Amino acid sequence: MTLAVQFTDVSRAFGDVKAVDRVSIDIQDGEFFSMLGPSGSGKTTCLRLIAGFEQPSAGSIRIHGVEAVGLAPYRRDVNTVFQDYALFPHMNVLENVAYGLKVKGVGKSERLARAEEALGMVALGSYGGRKPVQLSGGQRQRVALARALVNRPRVLLLDEPLGALDLKLREQMQSELKKLQRQLGITFIFVTHDQSEALSMSDRVAVFNKGRIEQVDTPRNLYMKPATPFVAEFVGTSNVLKGELAMQLNGSPLPVSIRPEHTRLANGEALDSDEVEVSGLLHDIQYQGASTRFEIQLENGQNFSVSQANNQWQLDDAPVQQGQRVSARWARGAMVGLREEM
């Protein structure tokens, strides 16, 4: 399978600051690939390096096998959906969408027809005559999408396109985008800081931290087998145990991660042979509807979370009270060994 985009040891420095630090990725043709991380982690810079708005300080970037470093954006078969949509205010929606075709010299009737088609694909067929300022945020986002897709790029870049939308709309757009990608079969490269968004839409996710990639994997593997403490705590929530405690429970000084929902509060029964346990003071109980979260302060001062599903449809008296001494237990195999911090 051809590689849509390949980064080899790419770095981008702004003065002394390394926004991107020796990053290497292989993005497959036709996959929905997300770049996830907190702000300033380098994910947006990487996207801009693919688009051509930035040039790397070092390393090579190949797009469908061709070296892209030094090529201007208009020379790359790549299109971008911008975070602020970047719709041209002085043109109407149809002209905006047809722009990419216009600058390539496509004739007027053909490009307007193809623009109409693209608008239809995002369910905005009758909006061609409006100006961007007359549209809502969600509508503008879809126009930006149509404007990029009408050029039939082989790679589509999306820079946190759903950030400005409210929750319901965002979820709707997430499933629409995923459907669209499957339908078109082109490579989508999606940048976001929202881990649940990345997990739900992508074939694979790269987790960025401080200019480096900590892990690239499928959503499931990222969640179940995080590679580093950062990934464990950024993707979902986790208890990361280090040092002496890790040694004690796992037999190795390397950190381990145990998800709150894989643990339970001990009921007083004897400890199973394949289980391990920690104890401490229960200092907070958070009722979250489908589950309840228990916050325990361990002997070494660390906070430990237990998340239990509220399976009972009958209301029982709470089994534990705040301020009690409790124990959390989990299966040995549920622990995931992590690399040291990078």
Partner 1 sequence: MSSQSLALDNPGGLLRRLSDLLYRKPTLYLSMLLIPPLLWFGAVYLGSLLTLLWQGFYTFDDFSMTVTPDLTLANFAALFQAANFDIILRTVSMAVAVSIASGLVAFPIAYYMARYTTGKTKAFFYIAVMLPMWASYIIKAYAWTLLLAKGGVAMWFIQALHLQPLLELILGIPGVGGNTLSTSHLGRFLVFVYIWLPFMILPIQASLERLPPSLLQASADLGAKPRQTFMQVILPLSIPGIAAGSIFTFSLTLGDFIVPQLVGPPGFFIGNMVYALQGSIGNMPMAAAFTLVPIVLIAVYLSIVKRLGAFDAL
Partner 2 sequence: MRSNAEKHGEQASWGLKLAAWGGLVFLHFPILIIFMYAFNTESSGFSFPPQGFTLHWFSVALARPDVLEAIKLSAQIAALATVVAMILGTLAAAALYRRDFFGKESISMLLILPIALPGIITGLALLAAFKRFGIEPGFLTIVIGHATFCVVIVYNNVIARFRRTSHSLIEASMDLGADGWQTFRYIVLPNLGSALLAGGMLAFALSFDEIIVTTFTAGHERTLPLWLLNQLARPRDVPVTNVVAMLVMLATMLPILGAYYLTKGGEGVAGSGK
- Kindly list the residues in this chain that would bind partner 2 in the complex (CB under 8 A): 51-53, 72-74, 78-80, 82-84, 86, 88-90, 99-100, 102-104, 147-148, 151
| Binding interface with partner 1 (CB under 8 A) | 55, 63-66, 68, 70-72, 74-77, 151-154
Partner touching 168 among partner 1, partner 2, none, CB below 5 to 8 Å by kind: none
In the bound state with partner 2, the residue whose beta carbon lies nearer, of 88 and 332, is: 88
> CB of 263 within 8 A of CB of 275?
no
In the bound state with partner 1, the residue whose beta carbon lies nearer, of 25 and 232, is: 25
Partner touching 82 among partner 1, partner 2, none, CB below 5 to 8 Å by kind: partner 2
Partner touching 68 among partner 1, partner 2, none, CB below 5 to 8 Å by kind: partner 1
Q: What is the Rg, in whole angstroms, of the alpha carbon atoms belonging to the chain?
A: 24
In the bound state with partner 2, the residue whose beta carbon lies nearer, of 78 and 335, is: 78
In whole angstroms, the minimum distance from the beta carbon of 62 to partner 1 comes to 9
In the bound state with partner 2, the residue whose beta carbon lies nearer, of 96 and 239, is: 96
Partner touching 283 among partner 2, partner 1, none, CB below 5 to 8 Å by kind: none
Buried b (16+ CB within 10 A) or exposed e, 182-212: eeeebbbbbbbbebebbbebbbbbbbbbebb
* Helix/strand/coil for 31: coil
In the bound state with partner 2, the residue whose beta carbon lies nearer, of 55 and 221, is: 55
* Nearest-angstrom CA–CA distance, 145 and 159: 11
User: Which residues face 61 on adjacent strands?
Assistant: 7
In the bound state with partner 2, the residue whose beta carbon lies nearer, of 88 and 108, is: 88
- Measured from the Cβ of residue 59, the count of other Cβ atoms closer than 10 Å reads 17
Closest CA to 295 of 311, 278, 315: 278
In whole angstroms, the minimum distance from the beta carbon of 288 to partner 1 comes to 42
Partner touching 70 among partner 2, partner 1, none, CB below 5 to 8 Å by kind: partner 1
In whole angstroms, the minimum distance from the beta carbon of 183 to partner 2 comes to 22
* Nearest-angstrom CA–CA distance, 15 and 1: 38
* Nearest-angstrom CA–CA distance, 135 and 18: 38
Partner touching 80 among partner 1, partner 2, none, CB below 5 to 8 Å by kind: partner 2
Q: What single letter denotes the amino acid at residue 171?
A: E
Q: Where are the beta strands (DSSP E) in 175-289?
A: 187-192, 204-209, 212-217, 239-241, 256-258, 264-265, 275-287
